[in-house]
Amino acid sequence: MEAARLRGIRAHPARRDAAIAAFWLAVGIALWAFGLTGLWRGAALFEVDRWAFLVTLAAAVALLPLRSSRPLVALSLGAAVALVDTLMGASLAVVFVFTDLIYAAVKYSSALAIRGLLRVAAAGAVALATVLVMTARAHPGLAVMLVQWGLIIAVSALWGWNVRAERAHTAAELSAQHADETRELRTKIAHDLHDLVANQIAVAGLHVEAAKLQAGKLAAGAPAGSGIGAGEAAAPGGPFGPVLQSLDRAKAGTDRAHRELRGLISVLTVVEQAGDSAPVDLESELHALGQLLPAGRAIRWGSGAEAVIRRALSAQHAQRARIVLRALHELIANVAKHGAGDAELLAEVAPGQESWPERGGGAAGERQRLRIRIANAPAPPPATERLGGGLGIEGTRVLLASIGGALESRATPDGWLATVTLPLPTTEREHE
């Protein structure tokens, strides 16, 4: 029970800071009760009653709930409270609370804030050295107090820095361990895909090729009295034409599936292949999309859509272009499996607002975006009952998101509509 309570406190920074504030309040009251006030009475500017130190203690403790959420704010206000407390002679409780605020500021602040603290610390060290040189002989008590405060601040800051560095080291080790485990998992998946799926696809392609040969022999051996020649039998309008056309598309599909799977395996095993950066044959790749649809169905390209896609992807890095083509491949395959009739494909390049905070502090600018729409009619009710779980669409959405793109897929009154949006590079550096 107690262990679970402690884990809950550590998991909620606000509760943890409140518990720390309560702890230091109790410790401070105990120290005040034992008379541990007036540590540097010789440097005090004015005499106050002992009760005044409870006021500075309460003010310092009130800042502790901000120690992890607003560490610099808490440290700045805490420095003011510690200064007032020191001018009254200083109490040990406020010194302890101020050391905790310094520790928290170094531990929880951002890298930019740490750089600012280092500048402040350097300026403070120079100022301290200057004051010591000027006052050491005339006011030795003041010099001792300043040295003690300098050591207190330095030890607290080094304590926080050590914890911060240890956390960063632990995070780096965990990240490296996670990367190794992910690499091992990807390798195992790649081996399973190769052994269990790629080989089966290759075998299916061989069977399709054998079926094509058998169908060709049957067409060549058409009965002499039928009045149909071998060429006419194998022609698209002949009795064997649709069969051979379907087998051609099936073979093209298995070949492409095998290539895609091999490419996926190479990605999973993090193997750099020469083909990864080779130019993409956009014309053949776009033409191959139509081969995914069954015989009798086709892609109806919108006005200039193919040229728009070809022109937009030619400016992309080869790997980005392959990802877009893979997404289109999945969407057209989805049309083939779950839709009916032809697929309508429209494409345009349109401007879009996008901010680049990493380049200029959040300034927004115009950036062209490639937008591709694929629509098709719904399948008959028996087919719609056999729809998949949407894993292909979700995988495509993740794939596009990896290059800054997006996918919207939804049902419409006329069937189904998928919209692919991809920001186009604006500089040579983005092409790389």
* Angular region, 227: left φ>0, alpha ψ -120 to 50, beta rest: left
CA distance 60 to 55: 9
**332, 335, 328, 333: which is closest to 308 by C-alpha?**
328
In the chain, DSSP finds a helix count (H) and a strand count (E) of 17, 5
Domains and their CATH numbers in the chain = 2-176 (no CATH), 296-354+366-432 (3.30.565.10)
Quickly tell me which residue has 């230091």 as its tokens: 24
Using CA atoms, how far residue 249 sits from 18, 115, 120, 281, in Å, is 69, 63, 71, 19
* Residue scoring higher pLDDT (143 or 227): 143
Residue 234 CA: distances (Å) to CA of 212, 229, 238, 246, 284 = 11, 9, 6, 12, 25
* Average pLDDT estimate for 25-44: 89
Residue 53 and residue 88 in contact, taking contact as beta carbons nearer than 8 Å:
yes
Q: What is the pTM of this model?
A: 0.51
Instruction: Specify the range with the lowest mean pLDDT, choosing from 10-14, 53-57, 70-74.
Output: 10-14
Q: H or E element: which one contains 216?
A: helix 199-220
**For residues 45 and 75, which has the higher predicted lDDT (pLDDT)?**
75
- What is the per-residue pLDDT for 431? 45
Q: Give the pLDDT score at 272.
A: 40
Work out the average pLDDT over 54-71.
94
Work out the end-to-end distance of the chain between its first and last CA atoms, rounded to an integer number of angstroms.
Answer: 55
Mean local confidence (pLDDT), 24-43: 90
Detail the DSSP E strand segments found in 265-399: 299-301, 339-355, 364-378
Q: Which helix (H) or strand (E) holds 407?
A: strand 406-412
pLDDT single digits (tens) 263-298: 677 666 643 433 355 677 888 888 888 888 887 888
- 147-162, pLDDT tens digit by residue? 999 999 999 999 999 9
* Cβ atoms of residues 402 and 323 within 8 Å: yes
Out of 47-56, 128-137, 383-392, the most confident range is 47-56
Report for 200-209, 228-237, 343-352: range of highest mean pLDDT: 343-352
233 vs 415 pLDDT, higher one: 415
Does residue 251 contact residue 209 with C-beta atoms inside 8 Å? yes
% of the chain surpassing 70 pLDDT:
81
Q: Is 247 a residue whose pLDDT tops 90?
A: no
| Contact predicate 342/359, CB 8 Å | no
Contact 349, 312 (CB under 8 A): yes
Q: How many CB atoms lie within 10 A of CB 218?
A: 16
pLDDT score of 270: 43
User: Looking at residues 318-341, what average pLDDT do you find?
Assistant: 84
What SS3 state is found at 355?
strand
